[in-house]
Amino acid sequence: MSEIQPIDRGVAAEPDHGVKHLAIIMDGNHRWAKARHMPRAAGHRAGAKNVAAVAEACADAGITTLTLFAFSTENWERPSREVNLLMDLMRNMLKNDVDELNDRGVKLSVIGDRSRFASDLQMDMNRAEALTRENDALRLNIAANFGGRWDIVQAAKKVALEVATGRLDEATLARMDEADFAKYLSLGTLDEPDLCIRTGGDQRISNFLLWDFAYTEFYFTDTYWPDFNQDTLAEALSTFSERQRRFGRRG
C-alpha cells in the first residue's frame, strides 16, 4: 500500500454518476492465477494487493462507502491450506496497512461473525476499528465470515433478545417497520448500496447483502479481481449513471 497516495478530496465537484455506496464481490483470483500458469495462492495475494488501489479509486470517484466481500460463511469449506492463506492475508492487511489507511482518512469496519476467527485476528480487527473510528474520507467495510442469511438471522436474534430482556416492549415491537429492523443488521444505519459490482464473470450474489440489495443495481464484469482497476470502475459507474432507478414505482 505504500504506493497509494493520501486521499485528497479537496473541493472536487459532486460526482455525477450517483453512486455513494458501492459493494464489490471480489471474484476471479483463482482464474487469474490459472491463466498465468501460477499457483492459486498467487491469485489471492494479487487480489489482496488490489484492495488499496481500488479503495483509492473509489475515493477519487466520490464514493463515500465501499463494502467488500472478502470471506463468506461458505468459504470455510475450502481446503484448509487455502483458508489459512486467506487468514494470513487478512492479518497482514490489519497489521501492516491499517496505519496508512488511518493516515488517508479511511474508516475501517469489519462486518460478519467474528467468533470463528482466531483470537489474535479478532484483536487486530478491534484495533483497526478503534484506530480509524473518527475518519470520514472513506468508509471501508470488510465483510469477513459474512453471509446474507446469517445477517438476517443474527438481526432477528438481537430483536428477540431485546424483547426477552425487556429492552424492547411489545408496543414498540408491534410498530417496528423495515427501517427499524434494518438497524439490527451489520450495515446498521448506513445507506443501502447503490451499486454492486461482481468481478470474474459469474452472475450471482452468493449470499452477500441479501436484505440490503433489495433495490441495488448490479454490474457484472469478466475482469478478474486482480485486474480490476480505475478504468473498469469508471465503466461500471458510467453504466450505472445511465440507468433509471424506479424502486418499484412505475416509469
Catalytic residue IDs: 27, 75
Which residues lie across from 108 on neighbouring strands? 140
217-220 and 21-25 beta bridge pairing: unpaired
Q: What is the biggest distance separating any 2 CA atoms in the chain, rounded to whole angstroms?
A: 62
- Taking the CA of residue 142 as centre, how many other CA atoms within 13 Å lie in the half-sphere pointing to its CB? 23
User: C-alpha angle with apex 39: 100 to 68, nearest 5 degrees?
Assistant: 40
List Cβ<8 Å contacts ≥24 apart for 28-35: 28/199, 28/200, 28/201, 28/223, 28/224, 28/225, 28/226, 29/224, 29/225, 29/226, 31/200, 31/201, 31/224, 32/224, 32/225, 32/226, 32/227, 35/224
Q: With b meaning 16 or more CB within 10 Å and e meaning fewer, what string describes 159-176? A: beeeeeeeebeeeeeeee
User: C-alpha angle with apex 70: 245 to 4, nearest 5 degrees?
Assistant: 90
